Structure 1
Amino acid sequence: MLFVADATGSPAVVRILDEKTCERPFIAHVEVPKLDDTLPDLCALRDVTWHAGFGGINGPTRLPQILEAIQFPSVPGYIWVAGEAKATTGIRKLPCDERGWPKDSVTAIGNWIIGKPRQRPVCYTSNRNTSLQCHQPSG
């Protein structure tokens, strides 16, 4: 299994690898702003390669270039990708369209979109109703 993530996906990579129960090899490539930002817990779990650049390069991420540089096995496996939404969508094309892997062998999660703030629900209580009321702002 191959994990490719930017800094926003690293907590999920840690949890997945920590809870791993099978004996398949797990390899992770994680992009962080600086190599000082590596997670020692993740290094102890599995084979992790750290890439500096996230947030400090021209463009949002180097995830597509990182994936292109990885030597894929001849037999399709499973790839889990998390990072900027447009980059993760494009990343699916490399193993599937260019290397013939089945589309269900890649999970790509867009954690954020460059230039767009994250929309958080607005929550409040009213005097008559003590339960918490939440709604997602439009826009």
Structure 2
Amino acid sequence: RVSSDGDGEEFDKKKGIVGKLINRAARAFRPLRASSDGEGEGPSSSSSKKKKVVVIGNGMVGQRFMENLINLDPDSKCQLATFCEEPRAAYNRVKLTSYFESLDPSSLSMTSEFDDDGTTAWYDDNGVE
């Protein structure tokens, strides 16, 4: 089902607001058309210039957003960066109570085992700052 969120933009209710944001980001990375003089349109028309996407808050939604954006950007036209107040990278907060069974923070990780600095290899593997 398609719905409008009040700003006139339609989105799939199943995917919700995250789907809407992913759709917007995907549209932002479509190739620009060349004008008649051979120059691209817009201020950042250089095909070699990456667009910077900053994800504020590295929780479950931020992590899934980055994963989906990476999948939608196979040519790596964007550079992802994320930051948050948490001492560790994205973790599954739903599993917090089960954490006390093992006391292993990596059991909560959404990507792979945590490094000593609280990140995971996923960030380096995907070029996320």
Q: Whose relative contact order is higher, 1 or 2, with alpha carbons under 8 Å and at least 6 apart? A: 1
User: What TM-score range do you get, normalising by the shorter chain?
Assistant: 0.3 to 0.5
TM-score (norm 1): 0.31
Q: Which protein has the bigger strand share? A: 1
TM-score (norm 2): 0.33
